Amino acid sequence: MRILVLLCVLIFLNCKNEEDSFESEYIWDSMNVTATAYNSLAYQTNSNPHITAFGDSLKPGLKYIAVSRDLLKKGLKHNIPVKIEGFEGVYLVKDKMNARWTNKIDIYMGVDVKAAKQWGRRRICIEYGIPKKAIITPN
């Protein structure tokens, strides 16, 4: 019995360390944005709704977002991790929006149009990771 408890504790601690090490690879910054939601449906995107503007494939259940092009310049580039107020887990920047949008993210909600409509449009805070290895410090 003691071995089983010890094994469970070790597994728990090991899982926590993986998450901590992932987050420790980034310097986290935050900003307020307008957030809407989108689905991988042709009438909401284009004739190939399962391919993002970066060429990634969309599948329901994935934690992806699209960002307005001005946010790309602020550090929210392809594959950057993002924590979204009101959502569990970490999302990845996998798509970019039409140039007409500014200071906006679009949260991917698979094919669940009802969930996307319920989310609507909100002003929220996001946190995004800037890779530490991309930051050059002077000697």
Residues 37, 119 contacting (CB under 8 angstroms): yes
The model carries a pTM of 0.78
Q: What is the pLDDT of residue 45?
A: 66
How far apart, in whole angstroms, are the C-alpha atoms of residue 38 and residue 110? 8
The vertex-121 CA angle with 118 and 124, nearest 5°, equals 110
Of 117, 106, 111, give the one whose Cα is nearest residue 69. 106
Q: What is the pLDDT of residue 116?
A: 95
Residues 67, 105 contacting (CB under 8 angstroms): yes
- Tokens 């996998």 correspond to 94
- Tokens 């090991």 correspond to 14
Q: What is the pLDDT of residue 9?
A: 52
How far apart, in whole angstroms, are the C-alpha atoms of residue 47 and residue 68? 20
Q: What is the chain's pLDDT, residue by residue, as a tens digit (139 residues)?
A: 666 555 555 455 555 544 556 778 899 999 999 999 999 887 776 667 788 889 999 888 999 999 999 999 999 999 999 999 999 999 999 999 999 999 999 999 999 999 999 999 999 999 999 998 766 555 5
Structure-block tokens of residue 65: 């977002």
Helices (H), the chain: 2-24, 69-73, 113-119
**Alpha carbon separation from 134 to 123, 130, 131, 137 (Å, rounded):** 29, 8, 5, 10
